[in-house]
Amino acid sequence: MKNFFDGKKKVIGMVHLLPLPANAAYRGNKEEIVQFALEDAKTLIDCGVDAIMLENFSDWPQYADEIPMESYTLMTAVASKIRDFCPIPFGVNVEMNAWYQEWVMAWAVNADFIRFEAFVDNRAGSFGYIPACSTPLSKVMKDYPADIMLFTDVHTAETYGNPNVPINQLAHNAMNHDSNAIIVTENDDNKKITPEDVKSMREEIGDFPIIVGAGVKPNNVLDYMEYCDAVIVGRGFKTGDRIDPEKVKEFMEVVRSKY
Q: Give pLDDT tens digits for 200-256.
A: 999 999 999 999 999 999 999 999 999 999 999 999 999 999 999 999 999 999 999
Sequence-distant contacts of 186-189: CB under 8 A, at least 24 apart: 186/155, 186/156, 186/157, 187/155, 188/155, 188/164
pLDDT of residue 17: 98
Domains and CATH numbers, the chain: 10-253 (3.20.20.70)
CA 185 to chain centre: 11
Q: How many CB atoms are located within 10 Å of the residue 235 CB?
A: 9
Contact in structure between 226 and 194 (CB atoms under 8 Å): no
Q: What is the rounded average pLDDT of the residues 91-116?
A: 97
pLDDT for 19-77, tens place per residue?
Answer: 999 999 999 999 999 999 999 999 999 999 999 999 999 998 788 999 999 999 999 99
Percent of the residues in the chain that have a pLDDT greater than 90, as a whole number: 94
Paired residues of 183 in beta bridges: 153, 211
Average pLDDT over the chain, rounded to whole?
96
Q: Quote the pLDDT of residue 2.
A: 67
Nearest Cα to Cα of residue 19 among 80, 91, 68: 68
pLDDT value, residue 203: 98
3-state helix, strand, coil in the chain (%, to 5): 35, 20, 45
Distance between CA 181 and CA 47 in Å, rounded? 24
